[in-house]
Amino acid sequence: MNYIQEFDEKESVKSVKKAPILAFVSIKGGVGKTTLAIETASSLANHFGKRVLLVDGNFSAPTIGLYLDLTDKDRYDVTLHDALFGVGLHNAIYESHGFDVVPAAQEYKNDIDVYRLEKILNKMRYRYDFIILDSSPNYEEMKPIIAAADKVFVVTTPDEPTLITSLKAAKIARQQQTPVAGIIVNRIRSPKHEMDLDEIEKASGIPVVARIKDHDKIAAATYHKEPMTIHDEGNVISHEIRNFASALCGTPEKPRGFFDRLLPFRDLFKKEEVNREIMRQNMYEEQM
């Protein structure tokens, strides 16, 4: 049992707006899809007051429950897999860190109809401002996620092998006519030896909408089983996620601190701000 079951389905708070369904995808494992899905959900909810549903669409190797401490089988007994079997999705929704989460089952059941996802999520669109989908790097598992999404963000690290592999997800999205809203470059470690924004955009033809550093503190947030955007709001990762989330909800970016403005190579950071501004406008117009 969970709190949402107490709602009367018909009487519950419904908005007139339809929540966009946004998916984080990449054919490459370990690039940060789950981390960014969690952080985006957390920022939209905790920084911008949005009602967010985060769904673990990694059917075979789900980790959202592990990252957010939703593993107690007695408390979190109903999962996305059950919902795909026909149990009402509202039974699989649990509150965590200011947003709602649908975890997936740790025991893989491969006889589920994953293409039901689109249908069951559509019913939730009026309850939330945003629905965020995490996905598996597996080609076949990712297809129903892309089918259910209105837009996808491709997650990559800034090296060519990963970018080329990650972009296969963009190809699937194009085949399914799901717009690719942008690339998020994660785990930037050594810019001198990595692809820069222009190279990534040239190779992909997709705008880079966020650039996120590799940061040790992620380990601490994971250890404490909480999003980085809550664990350390002032961290550089939290700041970039917040800027990305601000673009999703049409809010202006928070100005940088005094010391950030003095950073050398500040111009390197400008292009993704411009891309986010375009995304901000698009999101605003679509939600009108």
Contact 56, 136 (CB under 8 A): no
CA-CA distance, 67 to 129, in Å (whole number)?
Answer: 23
> Looking at beta carbons only, is 127 or 229 nearer to ligand ATP?
229
Interacting partner of 32 out of Mg ion, ligand ATP, none (Cβ under 5 to 8 A depending on kind) = ligand ATP
- Interface of this chain with Mg ion, residues 222 to 281, rule: CB under 5 A: none
258, with CB counted inside 10 A (0-12, 13-18, 19+), is exposed
CA-CA distance, 96 to 145, in Å (whole number)?
Answer: 22
* DSSP secondary structure letter of residue 55: E
- Nearest approach in angstroms of CB 25 to Mg ion is 10
Answer for which of 2, 18, 51, 63 binds ligand ATP (CB under 6 A) is: 63
Answer for which of 91, 106, 222, 251 binds ligand ATP (CB under 6 A) is: 222
Q: What's the CA dihedral at 153, 115, 139, 151 to 10 degrees? A: -10
Answer for which of 20, 21, 25, 35 binds ligand ATP (CB under 6 A) is: 35
Binding mask 16-55 for Mg ion (x = CB under 5 A): -----------------xx---------------------
CA-CA distance, 188 to 186, in Å (whole number)?
Answer: 6
> Binding of ligand ATP at residue 157 (CB under 6 A)?
no
Q: Which stretch binds ligand ATP (CB under 6 A): 11-19, 23-31, 86-94, 162-170?
A: 23-31
β-bridge pairing 99-102 and 94-96: antiparallel
> Binding of ligand ATP at residue 139 (CB under 6 A)?
no
209: how many CB neighbours lie within 10 A of its CB?
A: 24
Interacting partner of 222 out of Mg ion, ligand ATP, none (Cβ under 5 to 8 A depending on kind) = ligand ATP
Sequence letter at residue 179? P
* CA distance to 76, 85, 115, per residue, from 111 (Å): 21, 9, 12
- Interface of this chain with ligand ATP, residues 228 to 257, rule: CB under 6 A: 237
CA-CA distance, 287 to 103, in Å (whole number)?
Answer: 27
> Binding of ligand ATP at residue 30 (CB under 6 A)?
yes
| Total chain residues near ligand ATP (CB under 6 A) | 18
Answer for which of 218, 230, 247, 279 binds ligand ATP (CB under 6 A) is: 218
Six-digit token string for 158:
């800034």
Considering Cα of 144, then 145, then 146, then 150, what sign does the dihedral take?
A: positive
Q: Which residues bind ligand ATP (CB under 6 A)?
A: 29-35, 58, 63, 137, 186-187, 212, 214-215, 218, 222, 237
Return residues touching Mg ion (CB under 5 A): 33-34
